[in-house]
């Protein structure tokens, strides 16, 4: 009876705006081939409901898009809805009263009962009110390997990060770049985080990232991390691409042996017609730790004074987390659904690995959930400087520990 009541209430909220078609501009930074195929699933569902999705794609990844999105909202030119990462990126906008409160939609839809893990909804919540709808779970701890590259090098496909590092000389000798890496701070920071969990382990990672323990960041576990990242930097020296999907394409075409990238890379392999287990391999936790972080994407809705627009925003929020849309979007995106009550039997092998880890509880919060946007930006800047030059590992570790000590 409780569930039936919630479903009826959710239907009432959606129906309130469905009577008149509404046009909403939706901003996001999903512009690669795989990402565009995924966001089209959202647009198709919204348009099928009789509304109009005005696509506001911003090229250049989140680091480029977020300042533009925030500037528009602050400048009085808000979009109808916008992608951000669930975490602390919209915290100040919410505190300023500039984001729509979705608590009534969440309660009507029973989000507290279906969002898994619950930390995703917690990241949309401030002072007991819900301000965003989480749409997927993205994890960064993945190593993607090219079967073609390893065949050229006459080497078996590695089963973990250590085997990959050991195989690098053979790849280089065969004229293959060992590690594909885009020249952007967020990508390099992602690789740093993935290596950290694999090398230092989850206890040390929690102490530093969640508890802001600078002493651990200065300690031997993180010394080993920075030395491993310095080694990875050398393996990526000849990776002269900018965007993450260009680096993924190096793996797809056999120009590179591997890439450290989030599970959204699956969308690129899918668009290229590649088959997991035949053309490429995916190693969650770099094959060393059966653990994934639970970052991902959420949609926020800037507050406005037009009741019709507000009703449409709530209708879209309910649609994005509906069962059918969750399945179609996440199958295309390569991410895991936020709903724990839907059938993902059609998911490929990589997604099934992630779903298994999620079911076993092998999850961590993401850096976006644990660190402020300012701290994240400072760490990304440090990583960009470290990966692009010859900064000693010890110097990078010292500067990183100082950032953790000052983190809020």
User: Residue 304 maps to which CATH number?
Assistant: 3.40.190.10
pTM over the 0.75 mark: yes
The answer to whether 57 and 29 are in contact (CB under 8 A) is yes
Burial category of 39 from C-beta neighbours within 10 Å (exposed 0-12, middle 13-18, buried 19 and up): buried
**What DSSP letter does each residue of 199-215 carry, written as one string?**
HH-HHHHIIIIIT--HH
The answer to whether 144 and 265 are in contact (CB under 8 A) is yes
Per-residue pLDDT band at 368 (split at 50, 70, 90)? confident
Looking at the fold, whether 189 and 315 belong to one and the same domain comes out as no
At residue 85's C-alpha, the angle toward residues 83 and 88, to 5°, is 125
SS3 259: strand
Looking at the fold, whether 147 and 194 belong to one and the same domain comes out as yes
Looking at the fold, whether 266 and 288 belong to one and the same domain comes out as yes
Looking at the fold, whether 380 and 354 belong to one and the same domain comes out as no
Looking at the fold, whether 301 and 289 belong to one and the same domain comes out as no
Looking at the fold, whether 247 and 386 belong to one and the same domain comes out as yes
The answer to whether 104 and 13 are in contact (CB under 8 A) is yes
Residue owning tokens 């390099």 = 188
Q: Flag whether 13 is in a domain.
A: no
Integer Cα distance of 398 and 7 in angstroms: 53
Q: Give pLDDT, residue 194.
A: 94
The answer to whether 405 and 159 are in contact (CB under 8 A) is no
Beta strand 81-85 pairing with 297-300: antiparallel
Tokens for 274?
């590649």
Looking at the fold, whether 148 and 287 belong to one and the same domain comes out as yes
In this predicted structure, the answer to whether residue 270 has a pLDDT above a threshold of 60 is yes
Domain residue limits at 213 = 142-293+371-406
When mean pLDDT is compared over 89-93, 242-246, 369-373, the highest value belongs to 242-246
Q: Give pLDDT, residue 359.
A: 87
The answer to whether 380 and 185 are in contact (CB under 8 A) is yes
Q: Flag whether 11 is in a domain.
A: no
Q: Flag whether 199 is in a domain.
A: yes
Looking at the fold, whether 73 and 175 belong to one and the same domain comes out as no
Q: Give pLDDT, residue 214.
A: 97
Q: What is the mean pLDDT of residues 174-178?
A: 98
Q: Flag whether 14 is in a domain.
A: no
Burial category of 183 from C-beta neighbours within 10 Å (exposed 0-12, middle 13-18, buried 19 and up): middle
Looking at the fold, whether 275 and 397 belong to one and the same domain comes out as yes
Looking at the fold, whether 34 and 123 belong to one and the same domain comes out as yes
Looking at the fold, whether 398 and 277 belong to one and the same domain comes out as yes
Q: Give pLDDT, residue 373.
A: 81
Based on the structure, what is the number of domains in the chain? 2
Q: Which residues contact residue 226 at a Cβ distance below 8 angstroms, ignoring those fewer than 6 apart?
A: 393, 394, 396, 397, 400
In this predicted structure, the answer to whether residue 290 has a pLDDT above a threshold of 60 is yes
Looking at the fold, whether 237 and 385 belong to one and the same domain comes out as yes
pLDDT tens across 183-240, in order? 999 999 999 999 999 999 999 999 999 999 999 999 999 999 999 999 999 999 999 9
């Amino acid at each position: 009876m409780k569930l039936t009541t919630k479903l009826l209430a959710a239907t009432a909220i959606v129906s309130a705006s469905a009577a008149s078609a509404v046009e909403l501009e939706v901003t996001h930074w999903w512009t690669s081939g795989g990402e565009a195929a995924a966001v089209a699933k959202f647009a198709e569902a919204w348009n099928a409901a009789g509304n109009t999705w005005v696509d506001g794609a911003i090229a250049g990844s989140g680091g480029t898009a977020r300042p533009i999105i925030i500037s528009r909202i602050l400048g009085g030119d808000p979009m109808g809805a916008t992608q951000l990462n669930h975490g602390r990126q919209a915290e100040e906008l919410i505190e300023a009263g500039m984001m729509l409160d979705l608590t009534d939609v969440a309660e009507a839809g029973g989000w507290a009962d279906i969002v898994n893990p619950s930390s995703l909804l917690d990241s949309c919540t401030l002072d007991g009110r819900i301000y965003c709808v989480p749409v997927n779970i993205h994890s960064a701890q993945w190593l993607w390997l090219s079967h073609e590259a390893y065949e050229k090098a006459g080497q078996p496909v590695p089963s973990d990060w250590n085997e990959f590092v050991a195989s690098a000389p053979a790849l280089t000798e065969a004229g293959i770049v060992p590690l594909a890496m885009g020249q952007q701070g967020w990508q390099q920071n992602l690789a740093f985080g993935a290596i950290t969990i694999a090398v230092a382990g989850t206890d040390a990672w929690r102490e530093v990232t969640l508890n802001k323990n600078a002493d651990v960041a200065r300690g031997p576990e993180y010394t080993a991390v920075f030395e491993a990242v310095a080694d990875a930097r050398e393996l990526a020296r000849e990776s002269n691409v900018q965007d993450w999907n260009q680096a993924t394409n190096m793996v797809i075409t056999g120009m590179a042996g591997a890439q450290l990238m989030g599970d959204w890379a699956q969308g690129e392999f899918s668009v290229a017609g590649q088959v997991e287990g035949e053309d490429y391999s995916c190693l969650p936790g770099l094959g060393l730790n059966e653990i994934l972080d639970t970052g991902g994407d959420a949609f926020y809705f800037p507050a406005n004074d037009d009741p019709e627009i507000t009703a449409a925003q709530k209708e879209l929020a309910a649609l994005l987390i509906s069962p059918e849309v969750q399945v179609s979007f996440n199958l295309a995106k390569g991410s895991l659904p936020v709903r724990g009550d839907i059938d993902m039997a059609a998911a490929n092998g990589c997604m099934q690995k992630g779903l298994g880890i999620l079911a076993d509880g092998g999850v961590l919060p993401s850096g976006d959930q644990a660190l402020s946007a300012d701290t994240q930006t400072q760490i990304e800047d440090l990583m960009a400087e470290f990966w692009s030059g010859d900064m000693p590992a010890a110097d990078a570790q010292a500067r990183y520990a100082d950032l953790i000590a000052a983190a809020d």
